Amino acid sequence: MSSGSGIAIALDAMGSDLGPPATLAGACEVSQHPESPRLFVVGDADVLRRELEKHPHDRDKIRIVHASEVIAQDEKPKEAITSKPGASILVAAELVKAGEAQVLVSAGNTGAVTMCCARTFTRLQGVTRSALGAVYPTERRRGEKDDPFSLILDAGLTLEASAEDLVGFAVMGAAYSKCISKNSRPRVGLLSVGGEESKGTESVVKAHAVLKRLGARSDGGFEFIGNIEGMDIPRGTADVVVTSGFTGNIVLKMLEGISETVMRLARSASEKSLQYKAGLLLLAPAIQRLRQVTDWQEYGGVPILGFDRLCIKAHGRSTARAIRNAIRVAHRAARTDTVGSIQKGLEAARSAE
Protein backbone atom coordinates (compact mmCIF):
# COMPACT_ATOMS: atom_id res chain seq x y z
CA MET A 1 0.00 0.00 0.00
CA SER A 2 2.87 2.38 0.65
CA SER A 3 3.98 2.37 -2.97
CA GLY A 4 1.80 4.30 -5.36
CA SER A 5 2.46 1.97 -8.28
CA GLY A 6 -0.97 0.35 -8.22
CA ILE A 7 -2.90 3.57 -7.99
CA ALA A 8 -4.09 5.68 -10.89
CA ILE A 9 -5.70 9.12 -10.87
CA ALA A 10 -8.01 10.42 -13.62
CA LEU A 11 -7.23 14.07 -14.20
CA ASP A 12 -9.63 16.33 -16.09
CA ALA A 13 -7.01 18.38 -17.93
CA MET A 14 -9.40 20.94 -19.40
CA GLY A 15 -11.01 22.17 -16.16
CA SER A 16 -8.70 24.87 -14.78
CA ASP A 17 -9.17 28.48 -15.84
CA LEU A 18 -5.47 28.38 -16.71
CA GLY A 19 -6.18 25.49 -19.07
CA PRO A 20 -4.10 22.47 -20.08
CA PRO A 21 -0.73 24.25 -19.71
CA ALA A 22 -1.14 24.56 -15.92
CA THR A 23 -2.69 21.12 -15.52
CA LEU A 24 -0.02 19.36 -17.61
CA ALA A 25 2.80 21.21 -15.89
CA GLY A 26 1.46 19.99 -12.54
CA ALA A 27 0.94 16.43 -13.77
CA CYS A 28 4.42 16.21 -15.32
CA GLU A 29 6.04 17.39 -12.14
CA VAL A 30 4.17 14.84 -10.02
CA SER A 31 5.05 12.00 -12.41
CA GLN A 32 8.76 12.41 -11.74
CA HIS A 33 8.41 11.50 -8.11
CA PRO A 34 9.29 7.77 -7.74
CA GLU A 35 6.24 6.99 -5.61
CA SER A 36 3.72 8.97 -7.60
CA PRO A 37 0.56 7.38 -9.00
CA ARG A 38 -0.16 6.76 -12.66
CA LEU A 39 -2.12 9.55 -14.30
CA PHE A 40 -4.83 9.47 -16.95
CA VAL A 41 -4.82 12.96 -18.38
CA VAL A 42 -8.14 13.60 -20.09
CA GLY A 43 -8.84 16.25 -22.74
CA ASP A 44 -8.11 17.30 -26.29
CA ALA A 45 -5.35 14.82 -27.20
CA ASP A 46 -3.54 17.10 -29.66
CA VAL A 47 -3.37 19.96 -27.20
CA LEU A 48 -2.35 17.68 -24.35
CA ARG A 49 0.41 16.00 -26.37
CA ARG A 50 1.90 19.38 -27.24
CA GLU A 51 1.82 20.49 -23.61
CA LEU A 52 3.29 17.22 -22.43
CA GLU A 53 6.36 17.69 -24.60
CA LYS A 54 7.12 21.01 -22.91
CA HIS A 55 7.89 19.49 -19.51
CA PRO A 56 10.14 16.72 -18.29
CA HIS A 57 7.95 13.81 -17.14
CA ASP A 58 7.86 10.07 -16.61
CA ARG A 59 6.35 8.56 -19.79
CA ASP A 60 5.31 5.38 -18.01
CA LYS A 61 3.18 7.30 -15.59
CA ILE A 62 1.18 9.59 -17.86
CA ARG A 63 -1.40 8.42 -20.37
CA ILE A 64 -3.42 10.82 -22.47
CA VAL A 65 -7.10 9.96 -22.96
CA HIS A 66 -8.93 11.93 -25.60
CA ALA A 67 -12.13 13.86 -24.85
CA SER A 68 -13.69 15.88 -27.63
CA GLU A 69 -15.59 18.43 -25.53
CA VAL A 70 -15.07 20.81 -22.61
CA ILE A 71 -17.51 22.28 -20.09
CA ALA A 72 -16.65 25.90 -19.36
CA GLN A 73 -16.66 27.41 -15.84
CA ASP A 74 -19.70 29.55 -16.57
CA GLU A 75 -21.90 26.97 -18.29
CA LYS A 76 -25.14 25.80 -16.67
CA PRO A 77 -24.14 22.41 -15.23
CA LYS A 78 -27.25 20.44 -16.14
CA GLU A 79 -27.50 21.62 -19.73
CA ALA A 80 -23.75 21.26 -20.27
CA ILE A 81 -23.60 17.69 -18.99
CA THR A 82 -26.60 16.65 -21.07
CA SER A 83 -25.46 18.31 -24.27
CA LYS A 84 -21.79 17.34 -24.05
CA PRO A 85 -21.48 13.59 -23.48
CA GLY A 86 -17.87 13.77 -24.67
CA ALA A 87 -16.83 16.35 -22.07
CA SER A 88 -13.45 15.75 -20.41
CA ILE A 89 -14.97 15.61 -16.92
CA LEU A 90 -17.41 12.87 -17.98
CA VAL A 91 -14.74 10.84 -19.74
CA ALA A 92 -12.47 11.12 -16.69
CA ALA A 93 -15.30 10.09 -14.35
CA GLU A 94 -16.03 7.03 -16.51
CA LEU A 95 -12.42 5.90 -16.09
CA VAL A 96 -12.89 6.02 -12.33
CA LYS A 97 -16.24 4.25 -12.50
CA ALA A 98 -14.67 1.49 -14.59
CA GLY A 99 -11.93 1.05 -11.99
CA GLU A 100 -9.14 2.10 -14.37
CA ALA A 101 -8.41 4.93 -11.94
CA GLN A 102 -9.25 5.29 -8.26
CA VAL A 103 -9.82 9.01 -7.80
CA LEU A 104 -11.11 11.78 -10.04
CA VAL A 105 -9.39 15.19 -9.99
CA SER A 106 -10.85 18.25 -11.70
CA ALA A 107 -10.50 22.02 -11.48
CA GLY A 108 -13.63 22.49 -13.56
CA ASN A 109 -17.07 24.02 -13.04
CA THR A 110 -18.08 22.94 -9.51
CA GLY A 111 -21.71 22.37 -10.39
CA ALA A 112 -20.82 20.26 -13.41
CA VAL A 113 -18.22 18.23 -11.50
CA THR A 114 -20.60 17.41 -8.64
CA MET A 115 -23.44 16.62 -11.02
CA CYS A 116 -21.12 14.39 -12.98
CA CYS A 117 -20.21 12.52 -9.78
CA ALA A 118 -23.89 12.10 -8.93
CA ARG A 119 -24.62 10.70 -12.40
CA THR A 120 -21.58 8.50 -12.81
CA PHE A 121 -20.86 7.18 -9.33
CA THR A 122 -23.11 5.37 -6.85
CA ARG A 123 -24.20 6.98 -3.61
CA LEU A 124 -22.94 5.08 -0.56
CA GLN A 125 -25.49 3.30 1.59
CA GLY A 126 -26.58 5.55 4.44
CA VAL A 127 -25.72 8.81 2.70
CA THR A 128 -28.79 11.03 2.44
CA ARG A 129 -26.97 13.91 0.74
CA SER A 130 -23.49 14.30 -0.69
CA ALA A 131 -21.22 17.05 0.58
CA LEU A 132 -18.37 19.22 -0.56
CA GLY A 133 -15.69 19.44 2.10
CA ALA A 134 -13.46 22.50 2.23
CA VAL A 135 -10.30 23.07 4.19
CA TYR A 136 -9.48 26.40 5.77
CA PRO A 137 -6.56 27.67 7.84
CA THR A 138 -6.93 28.06 11.61
CA GLU A 139 -4.89 29.27 14.56
CA ARG A 140 -4.41 25.79 15.96
CA ARG A 141 -2.07 23.14 14.62
CA ARG A 142 -2.76 19.46 14.64
CA GLY A 143 -2.13 16.01 13.25
CA GLU A 144 0.95 14.34 11.89
CA LYS A 145 2.08 17.19 9.67
CA ASP A 146 1.37 19.81 12.30
CA ASP A 147 -1.03 21.28 9.80
CA PRO A 148 -3.26 24.17 10.77
CA PHE A 149 -6.23 23.28 8.57
CA SER A 150 -9.72 22.32 9.56
CA LEU A 151 -12.30 20.74 7.32
CA ILE A 152 -15.75 22.30 7.02
CA LEU A 153 -18.67 20.64 5.32
CA ASP A 154 -20.98 21.04 3.59
CA ALA A 155 -19.47 23.90 1.59
CA GLY A 156 -22.48 24.44 -0.63
CA LEU A 157 -23.94 21.28 -2.17
CA THR A 158 -26.77 20.77 0.34
CA LEU A 159 -28.07 24.21 1.28
CA GLU A 160 -30.61 23.04 3.86
CA ALA A 161 -29.45 20.04 5.83
CA SER A 162 -31.67 17.74 7.88
CA ALA A 163 -30.41 16.13 11.08
CA GLU A 164 -29.62 12.97 9.11
CA ASP A 165 -27.69 14.96 6.52
CA LEU A 166 -25.64 16.65 9.26
CA VAL A 167 -24.81 13.31 10.89
CA GLY A 168 -23.71 12.01 7.48
CA PHE A 169 -21.47 15.06 6.99
CA ALA A 170 -19.89 14.47 10.40
CA VAL A 171 -19.15 10.81 9.66
CA MET A 172 -17.79 11.46 6.16
CA GLY A 173 -15.76 14.47 7.26
CA ALA A 174 -14.23 12.58 10.18
CA ALA A 175 -13.24 9.65 7.94
CA TYR A 176 -11.71 11.99 5.37
CA SER A 177 -9.85 13.97 8.01
CA LYS A 178 -8.51 10.76 9.54
CA CYS A 179 -7.18 9.54 6.20
CA ILE A 180 -5.80 12.83 4.88
CA SER A 181 -4.50 14.55 8.02
CA LYS A 182 -3.56 11.26 9.70
CA ASN A 183 -5.43 12.42 12.72
CA SER A 184 -6.51 9.21 14.44
CA ARG A 185 -9.50 10.66 16.31
CA PRO A 186 -10.65 13.91 14.72
CA ARG A 187 -12.61 16.34 16.87
CA VAL A 188 -15.98 16.96 15.26
CA GLY A 189 -17.92 20.14 16.13
CA LEU A 190 -21.49 20.98 15.17
CA LEU A 191 -21.81 24.65 14.23
CA SER A 192 -24.56 26.36 16.20
CA VAL A 193 -25.52 29.50 18.11
CA GLY A 194 -24.61 28.32 21.59
CA GLY A 195 -22.75 25.57 23.37
CA GLU A 196 -25.69 23.90 25.10
CA GLU A 197 -27.19 20.93 23.28
CA SER A 198 -30.59 22.64 23.23
CA LYS A 199 -29.23 25.54 21.17
CA GLY A 200 -29.78 25.74 17.43
CA THR A 201 -32.30 24.85 14.78
CA GLU A 202 -34.38 21.70 15.08
CA SER A 203 -32.07 19.72 12.79
CA VAL A 204 -28.98 20.86 14.70
CA VAL A 205 -30.50 19.85 18.05
CA LYS A 206 -31.48 16.42 16.66
CA ALA A 207 -28.11 15.88 15.02
CA HIS A 208 -26.40 16.80 18.30
CA ALA A 209 -28.17 13.96 20.12
CA VAL A 210 -27.15 11.37 17.50
CA LEU A 211 -23.56 12.59 17.27
CA LYS A 212 -23.21 12.51 21.04
CA ARG A 213 -24.11 8.80 21.06
CA LEU A 214 -21.96 8.08 18.04
CA GLY A 215 -18.92 10.01 19.30
CA ALA A 216 -19.01 8.00 22.52
CA ARG A 217 -18.70 4.67 20.65
CA SER A 218 -15.28 3.18 20.07
CA ASP A 219 -16.16 2.48 16.42
CA GLY A 220 -17.58 5.97 15.87
CA GLY A 221 -14.19 7.06 14.66
CA PHE A 222 -14.27 10.56 16.06
CA GLU A 223 -14.59 12.63 19.19
CA PHE A 224 -17.73 14.74 19.25
CA ILE A 225 -16.88 18.01 20.98
CA GLY A 226 -20.49 19.23 20.85
CA ASN A 227 -21.76 22.49 19.47
CA ILE A 228 -19.20 25.05 18.44
CA GLU A 229 -19.87 28.73 17.70
CA GLY A 230 -18.70 31.27 15.15
CA MET A 231 -15.58 32.25 17.09
CA ASP A 232 -14.43 28.62 17.15
CA ILE A 233 -14.04 28.63 13.36
CA PRO A 234 -10.84 30.72 13.16
CA ARG A 235 -9.58 29.26 16.45
CA GLY A 236 -9.63 25.77 15.01
CA THR A 237 -11.41 24.25 17.99
CA ALA A 238 -12.72 21.45 15.77
CA ASP A 239 -10.90 19.40 13.14
CA VAL A 240 -14.19 18.91 11.33
CA VAL A 241 -16.87 21.63 11.34
CA VAL A 242 -20.33 20.32 10.47
CA THR A 243 -22.97 22.66 9.05
CA SER A 244 -25.47 23.11 6.24
CA GLY A 245 -24.26 24.11 2.78
CA PHE A 246 -25.84 27.55 3.14
CA THR A 247 -23.96 28.51 6.28
CA GLY A 248 -20.79 26.65 5.22
CA ASN A 249 -20.58 28.52 1.95
CA ILE A 250 -21.08 31.90 3.65
CA VAL A 251 -18.46 31.13 6.31
CA LEU A 252 -15.87 30.12 3.71
CA LYS A 253 -16.44 33.12 1.46
CA MET A 254 -16.31 35.38 4.49
CA LEU A 255 -12.90 33.99 5.47
CA GLU A 256 -11.71 34.71 1.95
CA GLY A 257 -13.19 38.23 2.08
CA ILE A 258 -11.54 39.03 5.40
CA SER A 259 -8.07 38.06 4.13
CA GLU A 260 -8.60 40.33 1.14
CA THR A 261 -9.79 43.18 3.34
CA VAL A 262 -6.79 42.90 5.65
CA MET A 263 -4.39 42.87 2.70
CA ARG A 264 -6.07 45.95 1.21
CA LEU A 265 -5.95 47.80 4.53
CA ALA A 266 -2.24 46.97 4.89
CA ARG A 267 -1.51 48.17 1.36
CA SER A 268 -3.36 51.41 1.91
CA ALA A 269 -1.60 52.01 5.26
CA SER A 270 1.73 51.40 3.57
CA GLU A 271 0.95 53.91 0.84
CA LYS A 272 -0.13 56.56 3.32
CA SER A 273 2.86 56.61 5.61
CA LEU A 274 6.55 55.77 5.53
CA GLN A 275 6.36 54.66 9.14
CA TYR A 276 3.70 52.08 8.31
CA LYS A 277 5.64 51.00 5.26
CA ALA A 278 8.70 50.37 7.44
CA GLY A 279 6.60 48.51 10.00
CA LEU A 280 5.13 46.25 7.35
CA LEU A 281 8.58 45.58 5.90
CA LEU A 282 9.82 44.40 9.28
CA LEU A 283 6.80 42.13 9.53
CA ALA A 284 7.22 40.83 5.98
CA PRO A 285 8.53 37.37 6.92
CA ALA A 286 5.62 36.79 9.29
CA ILE A 287 3.13 38.03 6.71
CA GLN A 288 4.73 35.80 4.11
CA ARG A 289 4.46 32.83 6.44
CA LEU A 290 0.81 33.66 7.16
CA ARG A 291 0.14 33.90 3.45
CA GLN A 292 1.67 30.49 2.87
CA VAL A 293 -0.44 29.01 5.61
CA THR A 294 -3.62 30.56 4.26
CA ASP A 295 -2.81 29.76 0.64
CA TRP A 296 -5.46 27.52 -0.89
CA GLN A 297 -2.97 26.37 -3.51
CA GLU A 298 -1.12 24.51 -0.78
CA TYR A 299 -4.01 22.19 -0.06
CA GLY A 300 -4.85 21.87 -3.72
CA GLY A 301 -8.31 20.47 -3.64
CA VAL A 302 -11.37 19.59 -1.63
CA PRO A 303 -13.31 16.34 -1.58
CA ILE A 304 -16.78 15.56 -2.91
CA LEU A 305 -18.03 13.02 -0.40
CA GLY A 306 -20.89 10.53 -0.38
CA PHE A 307 -20.13 8.33 -3.42
CA ASP A 308 -18.44 4.98 -3.95
CA ARG A 309 -15.70 6.88 -5.79
CA LEU A 310 -13.85 9.92 -4.55
CA CYS A 311 -13.45 13.19 -6.42
CA ILE A 312 -11.00 15.92 -5.48
CA LYS A 313 -12.23 19.24 -6.75
CA ALA A 314 -9.34 21.64 -7.34
CA HIS A 315 -9.85 25.41 -7.35
CA GLY A 316 -11.06 26.90 -10.66
CA ARG A 317 -7.98 29.10 -10.81
CA SER A 318 -5.60 26.20 -10.20
CA THR A 319 -1.98 26.73 -11.14
CA ALA A 320 0.49 23.91 -11.75
CA ARG A 321 1.31 23.91 -8.03
CA ALA A 322 -2.36 23.64 -7.02
CA ILE A 323 -2.87 20.77 -9.49
CA ARG A 324 0.21 19.01 -8.14
CA ASN A 325 -1.14 19.31 -4.59
CA ALA A 326 -4.61 18.15 -5.65
CA ILE A 327 -3.08 15.03 -7.20
CA ARG A 328 -1.12 14.42 -3.99
CA VAL A 329 -4.29 14.66 -1.92
CA ALA A 330 -6.08 12.30 -4.31
CA HIS A 331 -3.18 9.86 -4.11
CA ARG A 332 -3.18 9.92 -0.34
CA ALA A 333 -6.96 9.39 -0.28
CA ALA A 334 -6.58 6.31 -2.51
CA ARG A 335 -3.64 4.92 -0.51
CA THR A 336 -5.51 5.29 2.78
CA ASP A 337 -8.78 3.91 1.35
CA THR A 338 -10.82 6.95 2.29
CA VAL A 339 -13.98 5.58 0.70
CA GLY A 340 -13.67 2.35 2.72
CA SER A 341 -13.15 4.37 5.86
CA ILE A 342 -16.25 6.46 5.12
CA GLN A 343 -18.26 3.28 4.59
CA LYS A 344 -17.16 1.93 7.95
CA GLY A 345 -18.16 5.19 9.61
CA LEU A 346 -21.58 5.08 7.98
CA GLU A 347 -22.11 1.51 9.14
CA ALA A 348 -21.28 2.50 12.72
CA ALA A 349 -23.71 5.42 12.42
CA ARG A 350 -26.48 3.12 11.23
CA SER A 351 -25.99 0.71 14.08
CA ALA A 352 -26.01 3.63 16.57
CA GLU A 353 -29.43 4.83 15.49
In the complex, least distance from residue 151 CB atom to a copy of itself, rounded to whole angstroms = 17
Q: Sign of the C-alpha dihedral, residues 161, 162, 168, 171? A: positive
Nearer to a copy of itself, 36 or 244 (CB): 244
Nearer to a copy of itself, 46 or 256 (CB): 256
Burial class (CB in 10 A: 0-12, 13-18, 19+), 204: buried
Nearer to a copy of itself, 245 or 306 (CB): 245
Nearer to a copy of itself, 127 or 191 (CB): 191
Nearer to a copy of itself, 276 or 317 (CB): 276
Residues 31/57, Cβ–Cβ less than 8 Å:
yes
In the complex, least distance from residue 296 CB atom to a copy of itself, rounded to whole angstroms = 14
Nearer to a copy of itself, 1 or 284 (CB): 284
In the complex, least distance from residue 295 CB atom to a copy of itself, rounded to whole angstroms = 16
In the complex, least distance from residue 235 CB atom to a copy of itself, rounded to whole angstroms = 6
Q: Edge-to-edge, what's the strand order for the sheet holding 131-132?
A: 62-66, 38-43, 8-12, 103-106, 310-314, 301-305, 131-132
Written as one string, the DSSP assignment of 59-96 is TTTEEEEE-SB---TTS-HHHHHHH-TTBHHHHHHHHH
In the complex, least distance from residue 87 CB atom to a copy of itself, rounded to whole angstroms = 22
**Helices assigned H by DSSP within 69-201:** 77-83, 88-97, 110-120, 163-180
Point out which residues bind a copy of itself (CB under 8 A): 139, 156, 159-160, 191-193, 200-202, 229-235, 245-247, 249-258, 260-262, 264-265, 269, 273, 275-276, 278-283, 285-286, 290
In the complex, least distance from residue 352 CB atom to a copy of itself, rounded to whole angstroms = 26
Residues 229/193, Cβ–Cβ less than 8 Å:
yes
Nearest to 243 by CA among 348, 335, 173, 320: 173
